[in-house]
């Protein structure tokens, strides 16, 4: 279980950072178009980062603790 702590903490911190980075645009009275232009890249990043996070957890479960040892 110890091996999962670092990836989980990093995942949470980065997701919170991305949300806080894009939040000011939504707090203002910006146009809907601007909100979409800002939200779409943010959502794409969150989805991609979540996929990488899930893949990393699966690697840890399989016992691949050190990915760099393959290279």
Q: What is the pLDDT of residues 17-36, one digit of tens each?
A: 998 988 887 788 878 888 88
DSSP conformational letter for 28: T
pLDDT score at 69: 61
Q: What angle do CA 50, 15, 55 make, to 5 degrees?
A: 20
**Mean predicted confidence (pLDDT) in 42-47:** 92
Question: What mean pLDDT is predicted for residues 43-66?
Answer: 87
pLDDT value of position 60: 84
Inform me whether the pLDDT recorded for 53 exceeds 70: yes
CA angle at 19 for the pair 67 and 46, rounded to the nearest 5°: 40
Mean pLDDT of 49-69: 81
């Amino acid at each position: 279980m110890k091996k999962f702590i670092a990836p989980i903490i990093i995942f949470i911190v980065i997701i919170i950072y991305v949300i806080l980075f894009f939040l000011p645009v939504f707090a203002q009275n910006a146009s809907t178009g601007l909100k979409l232009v800002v939200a779409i890249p943010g959502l794409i990043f969150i989805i991609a980062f979540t996929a990488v996070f899930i893949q990393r957890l699966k690697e840890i479960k399989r016992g691949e603790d050190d990915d760099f040892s393959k290279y």
